[in-house]
Structure 1
Amino acid sequence: MEYLLKMKIMKRYLYPMIFSFCLSAGLKAQQQKVWGDWTVWGEQAGGMYMNPVIPSDYSDIDCIRVGDDYYAISSTFQFSPGMTVLHSKDLVNWEICGNAVEDLTQIGNALNWNVMDRYARGIWAGTLRYHNGRFYLFFGTPDEGYFMTTAVRPEGPWEPLTPLLSEAGWDDCTAIWDEKGNGYFVGTHFADGYKTYLFKMAEDGKSIDRKSAVLINEGSGREASKLIKVDGWYYLVFSEHKPGIGRYVLAKRSRKVTGPYKEEKQLALPSVEAMEPNQGGIVLGRDNNWYFLTHHGTGDWSGRIVSLLPVTWVDGWPLLGKVLDSKIGTMKWSSDMPFNADEKLSIRRSDDFDGSSLASQWQWNYQPRKEFFSLSERPGWLRLKAYRPLKPNDLLKAGNTLTQRTFRKSENDVVIRMDISHMENGQKAGLCHFSSQHSAIGVVKEGGNRYLEYRENGKMTKGAQIHSRYIWFRSQWGLDGKSYYAYSIDGDNFTSFGTPYQMVWGNYRGDRIGIYCFNDNGENGFVDVDYFHYR
């Protein structure tokens, strides 16, 4: 009886105390999370979510709300189609609803397959706005200047690009319309001391008055501007970088859109341990609370991943994340779900190539040579036709590489099935990872025979001769970003090949996974890809 009484006391009093202590310790551990070491992310049970919400390279985020829907954009640099558009119902679960710039040669020929001269450049950060029943997208490239396009639906079709300012050295733009319908455009001249100017803009967003420029901000790497209006105040939200301290978010405010923007407030600490969350969009949620959808700005192999921070208004300023006693925000790894949507959206990764067009997660490395790939010549398969790279045997100079973003998750398993029976001498094809460096597992045809090949940057390792018509390639990696390649001739039994490859950050991008096909000898041969399964 005494034993039973003790057990009842423990169950009633001690066990809840232990549970509460463990829960508290768990939440504390979440707040002190080691960068990249997340086994869970996104929406969780019990009405919570864990950052990141997208553990993948969706950089230079901006976010708006239209009715009950949220839309965001992410920069794409030299990848085509450009400027990815995302959609969400709850700010945590996202899907890709399209890409806004179908033809990168509208920006310049350097983004085409026959030049390929815009690594680390191309489409940088932009801003997404909704005005009078239309979506407006503004963005900059560091070499060509500012551009805009507009659409009735975020999925498109988007209008051909309109140049706004054909000058090099500008980045990170934003736009706004006042209550009278007057348009204003903000851009940063990073080539001249990071000076940020406000321009008058046409109501249709298709031109800006260069002579109307008014200086509203400058210094310390200040960029990533977003102009919003809340409760009669115009807020210029931006980031700043100081050597030895890091990058963090600030805001200026004014009662007039034209300024002056004299009041200034730092909204968050650099949170260096969390890779400096700093660029994004502040948006009012469906729950009437405010949120900051942001990327983490210091790159590693997974790129600039996306987190959602609650916003607390203190003394008329939007503080980001967890608010400290000193009235400044800092990184917050978990919070309550902004909304419980019935439909849980997700970013598509796998593809069986059954459609008439490529799924929206795919992007070519540079503007592709469209007649050299097909989804119709062999229905249900992607046909990649080979042609010469700009530099012999250089994957980063080969213009027929189809890519998508990799994810930083505990377990990643990508398998492709490839028909290699129509390869020609000099041709190479397979599965690759790349940013500024690369690795790949594939097949090369030489002297009428096909051989396995592992490549890591300029070093090639030749493997066994392949006699089968079909071959499967696999890449597996975890939170450490180390890829292990393997191949199979039956789709069931895989054999490791090549050395483990550490994915890297480069050209302002995280790692990409892709399918490549080129021929150093000429426009000869092709491969067919049955599927790309990303588990």
Structure 2
Amino acid sequence: MNRIIFIPMLLWWQLSGICSNAQMHGNWGDQGNGTYVNPVIPADYSDLDAIRVGNDYYAISSTMQFSPGMVVIHSRDLINWEIIGHVVDDLTSISPQMNWDRMNCYGKGIWAGSIRYYKNKFWVYFGTPDDGFFMSTATHPAGPWEPVHQLWNVNGWDDCCSFCDDDGQLYFIATNFAIDPKNKKKYNIHLFRMTPDGRSLVLESDSIVHQSHGSEANKLYKINGLYYHYFSEVRTEGRVMMMARSESIYGPREIRQLNHVDQKLDREPNQGGLLQTPAGDWYFLTHHGSGDWEGRPASLLPVHWTDGWPIVGKPGADTIGRMVWSGEKPISRKRKISLQSSDGFNTGKLNVQWEWNYQPRPGKWSFTARKGFLRLYAFTPIHSKKQTSVILRAGNTLTQRSMRTPNNVASLKIDISHMADGQFSGLTHFSTTSYSLFGIQQEKGVRTLVYDNNGKTTSGITVGEKFIWLRSSWDSNGISQYAFSTDGKSYKPLGSTYQLTWGSYRGDRIGIFNFNTQEDKGYVDIDWFRYDYSH
């Protein structure tokens, strides 16, 4: 094959200093001087896959139980990203367990998938650990996407990818991680042919192409006439990137390790997508597999082709790549774009950054009841033996990702004049390991400011005003301090600080909650939500 030469970037800084700066102090993304710092997305964009179509880059990220599901993001330079939509509007088309009245899929739901462009359409395939594999197509990645179609009803599988060969034949690759109860660490990777419409597997074509400890994160490519199967596996040092290549899609294969990892310093970059710019340079957009309170953020790593192998990161003496934390931007564009975060609720629909915790309850939220406001009707949380935290059982909780940046301020203006006894509404941070609630609680007609930190409550003032302003501020260490205002100008803190946390493969979520522990009664009107974050 023709050897691909990568021109080294300038300013690759030493690992220790930049790791400390990026991870501990929140430096990230476009630096405004032609360089960038990893992570390029300092928030929970896990299980990434990415492609280039023309001069545009598109990526998808898993969303577990959040709705709408499977977020789609877009970039023109691989550094500045914006959210453009989601693939799955209705999670109940996948499983009733992801509905507001079940809420039974923490750590499950929509896992890793792949995005590809062929036959004049975008194709997304993904799986859930309990319900099997699903797919959808769209003529534009922002949607609308076709209703999801179940490709295969199976459990114990994950990390799939579709592939269209030069002759138009479609293939599907995925991992069976539940093959042997006695040896759960060894996973089989299977390859199938698909029917021409891409909606069914040819099950009799099943072929096991690899087995190793934790082998998943599958992607298929064809580069310069060779087939490349990307995957990850668990070795002594941690989860590393691997690549198999062959002249035939069925092998025989050569296999090589592409990078080294350090679980504490670089947090195991592994799942992602291999990309080539129009100029011919190669990169790998990846999540960091070891989650922290912000989740699994995304970094962009250079790819150096060595003897036909795409080595990810900075090659060492053993020609295996290491994590790098800074470099020149792949594409020179002066315009800086930030992931959307604020919403004035005046367009008649939710902005694309929002995701409900589970499929929301129809009729319990509205943009038409009061123009320019989001109305949330309160109802009782479900009963669950698995979850004792009320926020994990309360439907219609509206969320978005919490960023790991030096300065984060999320504010909410809320009309509380139509609350009912038993109702509690306001701002929340939560994961499956901890939570905090900050807002107004009404009992016996009296509305009181309440801060609930994992069940330990602190009460503030009695609120007689129609509006209350609530705020959470946190830093790059994930330490949040709540504050309130009765005039929208002067804010006062209440209660102790709260440590944002990680749980069930998800980072912390900032959100708006509204529930009633007594009956389905009362509502609040959200005027606006503003979330400012910085470099």
Tell whether the structures are fold-level matches, with TM greater than 0.5.
yes
* Counterpart-to-counterpart distance in 1, 2:121 and 2:408: 38
Q: How much has 1:521 moved relative to structure 2?
A: 1.7
Find 2:55's aligned residue among 68, 75, 97: 68
Partner of 1:524: 521
Q: Please say if 1:265 is aligned against 2:265.
A: no
Q: Are the counterparts in 2 of residues 286 and 339 from structure 1 also a CA contact under 8 Å?
A: no
Counterparts of 1:501-512 in structure 2 under 5 Å? 501-512=498-509
* Counterpart-to-counterpart distance in 1, 2:226 and 2:267: 30
The code of the aligned residue for 2:286 comes to T
For residues 163-205 of structure 1, give each alpha carbon's deviation from its aligned partner in whole angstroms, at most 9, with x where no partner exists.
1110110000011011110000001001113101000112221
Q: Are the counterparts in 2 of residues 35 and 275 from structure 1 also a CA contact under 8 Å?
A: no
Cα 1:60–1:483 shift into 2, 3 Å: same
For residues 365-419 of structure 1, give each alpha carbon's deviation from its aligned partner in whole angstroms, at most 9, with x where no partner exists.
0000121111121111111110111039811100110000010000101110000
Find 2:146's aligned residue among 132, 156, 159: 159
Q: Please say if 1:223 is aligned against 2:216.
A: yes
Q: Please say if 1:480 is aligned against 2:446.
A: no
Runs of 4+ in 1 over 3 A off after TM superposition: 23-35
Partner of 1:460: 457
Partner of 1:109: 96
Partner of 2:166: 179
The code of the aligned residue for 1:207 comes to S
Q: Which stretch of structure 1 is more off in the superposition, 458-467 or 132-141?
A: 458-467
Q: Are the counterparts in 1 of residues 237 and 260 from structure 2 also a CA contact under 8 Å?
A: no
Cα 1:50–1:169 shift into 2, 3 Å: same
Query: Whose radius of gyration is greater, 1 or 2?
Result: 1
Q: Which stretch of structure 1 is more off in the superposition, 358-367 or 456-465?
A: 456-465
Counterparts of 1:101-500 in structure 2 under 5 Å? 101-192=88-179, 193-242=186-235, 244-260=236-252, 262-272=253-263, 273-341=265-333, 343-391=335-383, 394-436=390-432, 437-500=434-497
Q: Are the counterparts in 2 of residues 441 and 498 from structure 1 also a CA contact under 8 Å?
A: no
* Counterpart-to-counterpart distance in 1, 2:24 and 2:279: 30
Q: How much has 1:505 moved relative to structure 2?
A: 0.6
Q: Percent of aligned pairs with the same residue?
A: 48
Query: What residue ranges of structure 1 are gaps of 5+ in the alignment?
Result: 1-22
The code of the aligned residue for 1:447 comes to K
For 1:299, what is the secondary structure of its paired residue? coil
Higher helix share: 1
Aligned Cα root-mean-square deviation (Å): 1.6
Q: How much has 1:46 moved relative to structure 2?
A: 3.3
For residues 436-483 of structure 1, give each alpha carbon's deviation from its aligned partner in whole angstroms, at most 9, with x where no partner exists.
121011111100111111112333333321111110111000011011
The code of the aligned residue for 2:471 comes to R
For 1:205, what is the secondary structure of its paired residue? coil
Q: Are the counterparts in 1 of residues 46 and 295 from structure 2 also a CA contact under 8 Å?
A: yes
Query: What residue ranges of structure 2 are gaps of 5+ in the alignment?
Result: 1-9, 180-185
The code of the aligned residue for 1:280 comes to G
* Counterpart-to-counterpart distance in 1, 2:40 and 2:327: 11
Q: Are the counterparts in 2 of residues 30 and 334 from structure 1 also a CA contact under 8 Å?
A: no
For residues 321-356 of structure 1, give each alpha carbon's deviation from its aligned partner in whole angstroms, at most 9, with x where no partner exists.
111121110101011111123543321101111111
For 2:23, what is the secondary structure of its paired residue? coil
Partner of 1:9: none
Q: Are the counterparts in 2 of residues 271 and 330 from structure 1 also a CA contact under 8 Å?
A: no
Q: How much has 1:27 moved relative to structure 2?
A: 5.6
The code of the aligned residue for 1:251 comes to M
Q: Are the counterparts in 2 of residues 299 and 510 from structure 1 also a CA contact under 8 Å?
A: yes
Q: Are the counterparts in 1 of residues 12 and 326 from structure 2 also a CA contact under 8 Å?
A: no
Find 2:86's aligned residue among 99, 103, 108: 99
Q: Which stretch of structure 1 is more off in the superposition, 390-399 or 518-527?
A: 390-399
Counterparts of 1:36-55 in structure 2 under 5 Å? 36-55=23-42
* Counterpart-to-counterpart distance in 2, 1:465 and 1:456: 19
* Counterpart-to-counterpart distance in 2, 1:423 and 1:44: 45
Partner of 2:4: none
* Counterpart-to-counterpart distance in 2, 1:486 and 1:225: 45
Q: Are the counterparts in 2 of residues 420 and 527 from structure 1 also a CA contact under 8 Å?
A: yes
Number of aligned positions between the proteins = 511
Q: Are the counterparts in 1 of residues 213 and 233 from structure 2 also a CA contact under 8 Å?
A: yes
For 1:352, what is the secondary structure of its paired residue? coil
* Counterpart-to-counterpart distance in 1, 2:358 and 2:244: 38
| Larger relative contact order, structure 1 or 2 (CA cutoff 8 Å, min sep 6) | 2
For 1:370, what is the secondary structure of its paired residue? coil
The code of the aligned residue for 1:220 comes to H
For residues 49-96 of structure 1, give each alpha carbon's deviation from its aligned partner in whole angstroms, at most 9, with x where no partner exists.
111100000000000000110000000000000000000001110000
Q: How much has 1:212 moved relative to structure 2?
A: 1.3
TM, length-normalised to structure 1: 0.93
For 1:86, what is the secondary structure of its paired residue? strand
